[in-house]
Every structure is written in C-alpha cells, then in structure tokens.
Chains A and B, each alone.
Chain A
Amino acid sequence: MSLKLNGEPADFLHGERLIDVIGRCGFQVARGCAHSRSEAINLVDACTVQIDGRLARACEAIAQDGMQVVTSLPLAGGASAEAFDHERARQIIQDELGREGPLLPILHGLQQEFGCVPREAEPLIADLVNITRAEVHGVVSFYHDFRRAPAGRHVLKLCRAEACQSMGGELNAQQLLKKLGLDWGGTTPDGALSVEPVYCLGLCASAPGALLDGEPLGRVSAEQLEELVDGLGVEAKR
C-alpha cells in the first residue's frame, strides 16, 4: 500500500497513522498532543496537513492507499495566511459590535471577506468581543459553515437528505465524487471546485437539489452534474 507524500511515494502499514508515516519518511510535522504510544486526543491543530486537497490533522488521519498528502500547506494554509488583512478584519468585527450577540454575524462577515474564518482572526475577535479565545474557537468549530481554509473557486453543495435520496441524489453525488477523485468536502487539485454536503436546501419537491455558488439547481441528473463540472473547467484527478 502506498500514498503520495509531498509528491513522493511512501509505503505504510495497514492502519498506520499518517503522522507516523510522515515522521518515518523524514518530514517535519509538529506532534502536539499525539504521543507515538497513545491514541491522539485531537486537541492541537499543529499537525495539520492537506489530504486530497482538504485540511486534516495528521494525528487522527489513518493512511489510505492512493492518498495525496502535502505537509507544507502551500494551497490552503498559505493562501489564508497571506490573504489575511488585520485592519480589514478589525473593521468587519467592529461593524457588527453594535448588535446583541454579534459573534455569528462577525464570523459570516469574515468568511465572506476572506473565504474562511482565518485562525489569525480568532484572537482579534476575542479581544474586541471580550470573550475568551477558547470561546471563539468553540463557536467557529461548532458550525459546519465556517471554513478553516478557503474553498475552491467554485463551491458545489449537493443535498444528501432523505427527499433527495429518494430521487437518486446520493448515487449521483457518489458518481461525481468518484469522477473527481474527491471525498465530501474535498477540493480538486487545481483549486477550481469544492464539493460539500448539505442537508436540505428546501428544494425537496424538485429533488435532487444542489447549490452552485449560491444558485439553486433542481431535478439535477448525474449527466447534468457532469456537464456542470466540465463547464467550470475543473481538472479531475487523473
């Protein structure tokens, strides 16, 4: 069994943790809370790597055949750090402070501006809203909507709920993910498209439903999905 680590093939044992494979191959990833002889307690994000275009902790990921792993995070982590504009973020936060319970509007505002809620924003929010960083982090990580890294240039949300399942939506989705070589939440290697799960868009009488860059789509067939993705110029995994 083999995976690609920073572009190089790396062998691993069945069930081996990714963080151990990375260490064995001589790449540096901070271990944080992951002791080699205990189970990861999944507390620290220091070991974050990019797996098939998606950010994940290396300590909790289990090595899988064909996985593409990048340890230096050029695509996602780098992009978010670079794009972060302290002053702009401060402005967005201050604009919402007049509301009762301003945190969710702040996080939505930041994500709209930066494509994600940058980690660098958390201390800033904590300071201005006068809550702890732990509280901010707790809220950001609770809600499915808030991203830790920007999504692809296009975001396709496919409904996985019951009404869409009854019209074959799940089968269509699996077919598309397979074609793109992605898992749910993944982004194509060229950064063109992220495919995310969503549980109901209220298009249940025109199922299966989807949302492409905020535009609703109903009665979407597998063929339509393929055409749609081809139309976006997405380069699928070879």
Chain B
Amino acid sequence: MKVFVSLDAGAVAVGAERVANAIVAEAERRNVEITLVRTGTRGMFWLEPLVEVETAAGRVRYGPVTPKDVASLFDAGFLEGKPHARCVGLVEDLPFFKRQTRLVFARCGLADPFSLEDYRALGGLRGLERALTLGPDEIVAEVKRSGLRGRGGAGFPTGIKWETAARAKSAQKYIVCNADEGDSGTFADRVLMEGDPFTLIEGMAIAGMGVGATQGYIYIRSEYPHAVRSMTRAIDIARGAGLLGPKVAGSNYAFDIEVRVGAGAYICGEETAMLESIEGKRGQVRAKPPLPVLKGLFGQPTVINNLLSLASVLFILAEGAQAYADFGWGRSRGTMPIQLAGNVKYGGIFECAFGITLGELVEDVGGGTASGRPVRAVQAGGPLGAYFPPALFDTPYCYEAFAARDGLIGHGGIVVFDDTVDMARMARFAMEFCAHESCGKCTPCRIGSIRGVEIFDRILAGREREKSLALVHDLCEILKSGSLCALGGLVPYPVLSALKHFPEDFGAAVEHTAVGQEG
C-alpha cells in the first residue's frame, strides 16, 4: 500500500514531516504494511500537508492533515481511499488541478524525486533521447521554432540566445541556470528543484549539447537550503547513472553541472551580477555589451537561462516545437507556471497556457483572498512588478498585454492583497527594498532609492504632499533611464502603479478617489 506525503519545503513548513512520521508510527502500531513515498508537492499549498493514497480508482487525497488526524484516518480506512472529514477526493478532479496544462510540472508531486526509474517511467529523458538523435543545429532550431521566451521575466527568445552562443567560437562555453528566485510571490523554481530535479538536469544537458557547452552551473539562493540539498543529491545520482560526465547518456557529448549557492543578495538574480558572483566577486551588475552570450562567465560564451525556460525545453524536444507553440496567446507561446501567493484562498502553482485573464486567476482559480475580505490589489511579477487594481482584471496573462498596462509578468508570481493594504506603505517598501538590495553601481538606484524612502516618509506623514509627489515622478524617470539593470529600472513600476491606481492612499481628496475608481 503506497502512501504519499510531500517533502517540499512549503509542505514541511506546515508540518508534513510530523505527519509523515505519525503515519509510519501508526502503521507500525497497527501492524499494517505501508510504503511511505516522499514526493514533491502537487503545488496546492492550502491542502498541505497533503496525504495521498494509491487506490484502484486513482490517488485519493486527504488534506490538510495534522498529526492528530492520523489515527482517525486509519480508523476510517484511508488506505482503501474511504471517506473522512479531510478527504478531498481524487486529485485529478479538483478544479484547481483540472484547469491546468502541466507541461513543466507534469511529474512534480507524483513520485520520489530521486528515483531515476520513476523519472523515466513518467516520461523523463525523452527530450534528451530525441536531442541525441537530432544533433546541435536541430536542437537549437527546434527551440527557436517553439517560440519559447525566457521565463525569468525579460521574455527574450530562448532559441535566439542559444543560436548566438552556438555560433560563438570558443574552447569553453557555459550554461548557467538562474535559480536565484528572489521575487516575493514566486516559488516555482524551488518547487521544481525539490520535487523534480532531474527535469532541470535534463534541460541543461540538452542546452549544453545544443550550444556546445560542457560545463553548467546552477546558481541557487541560500534562502533555499532544501533546494540546494535536493539539486546536489540529484546531480550526484545523475552523474552515477552516466547522465552527466564525459559521455552524457553514452553519447559523445560531455556535460557536467555544479551547484553554486548565493549569499543573500537579491541582485544576483540579475544575470551579469550572477556571473560576477559565480566568479567570486561582489554581485555588481555589468554593463552590456558585451552580451553574456558572447562574453559571459570567465569571459566565455555563456547561456544564462531561467530554470523554467530550461525545464520547458524537455517538452519541446520530446513532443516537438509545434506541440508546444500550439499553447499560448499572441507572441507568448507555451505554458507558464503561475504562482498564486500572499493573501489568496487557494495559493500554489497553476501552470496553464498564456491568455487566461488576471481576474480568472485571482478570483476563480485563487478563490479570492484567504482573509475573506475583498481583493484590493495584486502585485504581478515580484517586487519590481506593478500593482493591479480589480478594474484591470480583464488583462490577459501574457508578456505584451501586461506591458501595455505598464506592468510585467516577471517570473510568474502574483501576490494578492485584501482591502486592509496601505498602498503608500507598499510604494515606500518598493523603494526600501531597492535601497537594501542595490548593488551600488548606478547612482539613481543606490542613492535615489534612499531619497525615495525619505520622500514617502514625508508623504505618509502628510508633509509637502504635492511637492513630494512631483519629486517621486521625477525620481522614477531618472531611475528608469539611468539604471543599468532591472532593479533600478523597474522599481518605478510598483511605485507609479500604486500612485496611479490608489491615489486615495497617498492623501488624494476623496472626490478624486471616486472618479479614479470609476475609471
């Protein structure tokens, strides 16, 4: 009898470890034979700790389970999938799950993340196997045809990046996976590294083959200790099985991967700062050009891809570029693992094709706020993303539509706030965060952000309001045009969107507010 409990940090954080131990202890006490499998998470965090049981009809699910529930679960006969107050039925029947198109997260939460056998049984390695038959040129062409765009936020076409690196002449090239997932409200990288790490290894090996790189680095933030352990272990297993090393899967391609751990600097998620950090330097942004793809890590051609981009490549290779491009909307092709977070009733990972509206995501999929109060604002795309009011919930989820409304989808995070949020404080926080995390290279970001905090302090105290607001707009202009990277360049997004959509929080007259809300 197989029982599944997640080992994901998000599940362990709410007691999955204790529940797993309680199930084993209770089974021993009752002399019932069970096999407890620790899996990744299904990404439905409101149900964690989630317990799944394999039955003839499919996996029956119970959640959220506490250690206290375990005895009664056995009494009710949960091992046969019988009813219990915590039972939520078959996994595949839940609306949150049913509406998804899981390409990247297809395997996550189904099996032991460290079993290569399970990985292969669930469709793993098919992408790599096809890549081996295609050869470098065709791999790159396939990714290019799929229309895949970088999932880190900038949305640059992955295939073009690979093509440029493939054409660069150099004895040594690198693949760097950006797993420095620092945006608040995002956790898809973490979940995939903990729940299905071989996916990333396979994706990087394919990238290495495509562009002619033999060494890969995964840069993981130190705030993710579980993901660091998981990835390190999976790389060892893959190397042992011959998937990494001088002959990848028995071919003539060599590729190996090393995990590098960050040290608490958000800016190292910026690609050139990340390169500096791997090289052992301060995580300061580089000026571009030269582009990293031609002159990157240690001065060599380097493909830096977000983890989700690399993970998306598997489906593209296994099923073909067209199958992937068939999903999506406009120029945003394929699927995006969207992360619903913050004050949301059903928070977690929701992977779907581009084109779903923001309102559907927040209200239908997410079920509104966790507090039960009205939704007032959502921040899309992390701390540098814009705040959207419910009036803009008709925005389709894709790169262009968000940009047209002065926002961005970033790494796919959506943080929901209820009506108790003070948007002036959130705008101040954006500046405070920028000041805290600025690498110090560009003056508008290093000093302007500190002045920004001070200006908002004056606004919050009700002093020199008009003058201060004019200064904020000025400062944002300078930040946008005078910063090398996205930290200083994008911090105006949360600030200006808060000002534009929620003027009443900045001391605007009430009648002004009423007009603003109608519009």
Residues of A within 8 Å of B348, CB to CB, are 205
Contact present for A205 and B265 (CB under 8 Å): no
Residues of B within 8 Å of A201, CB to CB, are 9, 223-224
Residues of B within 8 Å of A157, CB to CB, are 223
Is the CB of B226 closer than 8 A to any CB of chain A? yes
With A162-B429, A165-B429, A206-B45 in contact, is A200–B278 under 8 Å at CB? Answer: no
Interface-facing stretch out of A23-31, A33-41, A63-71, A102-110: A102-110
Give chain A nearest CB distance to B56 CB in angstroms. 31
Minimum CB distance partner of B224 in chain A: A202
Interface hits, A157-213 → B, CB 8 Å: 157, 161-167, 198-207, 209, 211
With A204-B184, A218-B10 in contact, is A163–B280 under 8 Å at CB? Answer: no
Give chain B nearest CB distance to A137 CB in angstroms. 10
Contact present for A162 and B281 (CB under 8 Å): no
Contact present for A207 and B341 (CB under 8 Å): yes
Is the CB of A14 closer than 8 A to any CB of chain B? no
Interface-facing stretch out of B65-73, B314-322, B416-424: B416-424
Residues of A within 8 Å of B223, CB to CB, are 157, 198, 200-202, 211
Contact present for B298 and A144 (CB under 8 Å): no
Contact present for A167 and B370 (CB under 8 Å): yes
Is the CB of B383 closer than 8 A to any CB of chain A? yes
Interface-facing stretch out of B31-39, B82-90, B185-193, B463-471: B185-193
Is the CB of A219 closer than 8 A to any CB of chain B? yes
Residues 157-199 of B, flagged 1 when their CB comes within 8 A of A and 0 if not, give 0000000000000000000000001111111011100000000
Contact present for A214 and B341 (CB under 8 Å): no
Contact present for B13 and A142 (CB under 8 Å): no
Our pick among B185, B260, B279, B298 for the contact of A204 (Cβ within 8 Å) is B185
Q: How far is the CA of A167 from the CA of B341 in the complex (A)?
A: 10
Our pick among A107, A129, A145, A202 for the contact of B9 (Cβ within 8 Å) is A202
Our pick among B279, B413, B429 for the contact of A101 (Cβ within 8 Å) is B279
Contact present for A205 and B13 (CB under 8 Å): no
Give chain A nearest CB distance to B211 CB in angstroms. 18
Residues of B within 8 Å of A101, CB to CB, are 278-280, 298
Residues of B within 8 Å of A216, CB to CB, are 9-10, 12-13, 226
Is the CB of B282 closer than 8 A to any CB of chain A? yes
Residues 8-33 of B, flagged 1 when their CB comes within 8 A of A and 0 if not, give 01101110000000000000000000
Give chain B nearest CB distance to A87 CB in angstroms. 23
Is the CB of B277 closer than 8 A to any CB of chain A? yes
Q: Tell me the number of A-to-B contacts counted with CB atoms below 8 Å.
A: 163
Minimum CB distance partner of B267 in chain A: A142
Size range of the chain A interface in the assembly: 35 or more
Give chain A nearest CB distance to B293 CB in angstroms. 19
With A143-B265, A219-B14 in contact, is A167–B183 under 8 Å at CB? Answer: no
Is the CB of A138 closer than 8 A to any CB of chain B? yes
With A101-B279, A164-B184, A166-B415 in contact, is A204–B341 under 8 Å at CB? Answer: yes
Contact present for A218 and B13 (CB under 8 Å): yes
With A142-B282, A162-B383 in contact, is A167–B263 under 8 Å at CB? Answer: no
Contact present for B342 and A203 (CB under 8 Å): no
Our pick among B13, B265, B277, B281 for the contact of A217 (Cβ within 8 Å) is B13
Is the CB of A128 closer than 8 A to any CB of chain B? no
Contact present for B45 and A205 (CB under 8 Å): yes
Q: How far is the CA of A228 from the CA of B368 in the complex (A)?
A: 30
Q: How far is the CA of A217 from the CA of B182 in the complex (A)?
A: 18
With A104-B277, A142-B283 in contact, is A162–B379 under 8 Å at CB? Answer: yes
Residues of B within 8 Å of A142, CB to CB, are 265, 282-284, 439
Q: How far is the CA of A186 from the CA of B194 in the complex (A)?
A: 32
Residues of A within 8 Å of B383, CB to CB, are 161-162, 199
Give chain B nearest CB distance to A207 CB in angstroms. 6
Residues of A within 8 Å of B415, CB to CB, are 162-163, 166, 204
Contact present for A166 and B281 (CB under 8 Å): no
Residues of A within 8 Å of B340, CB to CB, are 205
Listed by A's residue number, 29 A-B pairs whose Cβ atoms lie within 8 Å are A104-B262, A135-B281, A138-B282, A142-B283, A142-B439, A143-B262, A143-B265, A144-B263, A144-B265, A157-B223, A161-B433, A162-B342, A162-B429, A165-B426, A166-B343, A166-B421, A199-B182, A199-B184, A202-B10, A202-B190, A202-B223, A204-B339, A204-B347, A205-B46, A205-B347, A206-B13, A206-B48, A207-B343, A217-B13
Binding site for B on A (CB under 8 A): 99-105, 107-108, 129, 135, 138-139, 142-146, 157, 161-167, 198-207, 209, 211, 214-219
